Amino acid sequence: MMYRRTFIAIAVGAVLAAPRRSGAQVAGKVYRIGYLGQSSKAQDLAEGGPFSRLLQNLRPLGYVEGTNLTVEPYFADGRTDVLGSLARQLVQAKPDVIAVQSAGIAEIILEHTTTIPVVALGAGQLQAEPRVRSLAKPGGNLTGMQLFSPETMGKRLQLLQDVVPGLRRVAVLRGVPFEGPGYELYRDATAAAAAKLGIRVRFVQFETIDDLNRRFEEMVKEQDQALLIWGNPHLNGHRKEIVDLTIRHRLPAISDVRVDPPSLMVYAAKMDDVAREAATYVDRILKGAYPGDLPIGQARTFALAINLRTAKALGLAIPQSLLLRADEVIQ
């Protein structure tokens, strides 16, 4: 923990010290922000959606759409096969900066440009991306905010232990893709945290609903006692089915993102705080900062939500001490 606090202090100091080519907005200039989202326009622009949050948090910094700001948003409507084409079109439009939500979409953008700054608004992780030299100084044209930290992996397992006495076996579920340096980062951090707690973890993935049903049947056969859910766009599209399966198979689950319907527990970064910080990256770049000099930020504020409806369906009694620690209790 001391290392993480030290890094944060260094990162904040480096952000403040990062050079600018210009210290303020240029009078009369209209700034252009591009955006590529995997979801639909309605979802990304809805209240709480990533692009909506960005525009909202840019207003206090002096950017108003239609006055000194224009946007070039592209939406994949859930189709991963069109992301490459949309990324190419967006880069050809030559905005001043491109905002994305995930590391995966950032990587697609980076296949088409090494010069246009790319800001992640709240990626799962950025530090494993091949073009990122380090968190403190990424070095290329990608920077922004990430949610990953090894401490949160251990925290979620500890929370499962609080509600499942004698917990020794946990399944970790994620939708495809389930490989690459980002996955290895999550896997290794989770495995290390589990070993310290005396927990055996199994990593499982699914692609279709049939796969998902089979994976839950395997969890029962393997005598898994609880489930850790790693959110990603594919998995989030099957959230209701996953929650239903956890209840049917009596598997208490904790998630790393808040998506409705919520699982038994959610321990996730406070996305409003992450979004505010991400907007400052866009602001600094528009004012002349070089993205490679801006340290990648990490989420620092988290919230615990407990779903008592799901607890009742699972036949679980949530300890009062845990309820008192929760930021939200869903009745």
Tell me phi and psi for residue 268, to 5 degrees: -140, 155
In contact, 256 and 156? CB cutoff 8 Å? yes
- State which H helix or E strand residue 146 sits in: strand 142-146
Please state, in angstroms and as integers, the Cα–Cα distance from residue 39 to each residue in 43, 47, 79, 195, 233, following that order: 6, 14, 8, 36, 8
pLDDT (0 to 100) of residue 16:
41
pLDDT (0 to 100) of residue 177:
60
Q: What is the DSSP letter of 24?
A: S
Distance between CA atoms of residues 320 and 306, nearest Å? 12
Confidence of residue 179 (pLDDT cuts 50, 70, 90): low
Give long-range contacts, CB 8 A cutoff, 24+ apart: 318-322. 318/163, 319/162, 319/163, 322/159, 322/162, 322/163
Give the lowest-confidence range in 4-18, 121-135, 192-206: 4-18
Write the single-letter amino acid at 237. G
Q: Which two tokens stand for residue 133?
A: 């030299």
Write the single-letter amino acid at 88. R
Q: Which two tokens stand for residue 16?
A: 């403040």
Confidence of residue 20 (pLDDT cuts 50, 70, 90): very low
Distance between CA atoms of residues 111 and 155, nearest Å? 35
Please give the full DSSP string across 210-262, using - where no structure is assigned. HHHHHHHHHHHHTT--EEEE---HHHHTTHHHHHHHHHHTT--EEESS--SSP
In contact, 59 and 33? CB cutoff 8 Å? no
Share of the chain above pLDDT 90, in %: 70
Please state, in angstroms and as integers, the Cα–Cα distance from residue 29 to each residue in 20, 67, 112, 123, 280, following that order: 17, 9, 26, 30, 18
3-state secondary structure of 141: coil
Residue 12 has pLDDT above 60, yes or no: no
Confidence of residue 23 (pLDDT cuts 50, 70, 90): low
Instruction: Give the rounded distance of the alpha carbon of 234 from its chain centre.
Output: 13
Among 143-147, 149-153, 174-178, the range of highest mean pLDDT: 143-147
Confidence of residue 183 (pLDDT cuts 50, 70, 90): confident
Count of beta carbons in the 10 Å neighbourhood of residue 213 = 15
Global pTM reads 0.85
Q: Which two tokens stand for residue 216?
A: 């839950």
Kindly tell me the sign of the dihedral angle through the C-alpha atoms of 282, 287, 290, 296: negative
Who's near 284: CB < 8 A, 6+ residues apart? 15, 18, 20, 294
3-state secondary structure of 308: helix
What domains can be seen in the chain, in order of their start residue?
Answer: 2-147+270-300 (3.40.50.2300), 150-255+303-330 (3.40.50.2300)
Distance between CA atoms of residues 102 and 17, nearest Å? 26
Residue 116 has pLDDT above 90, yes or no: yes
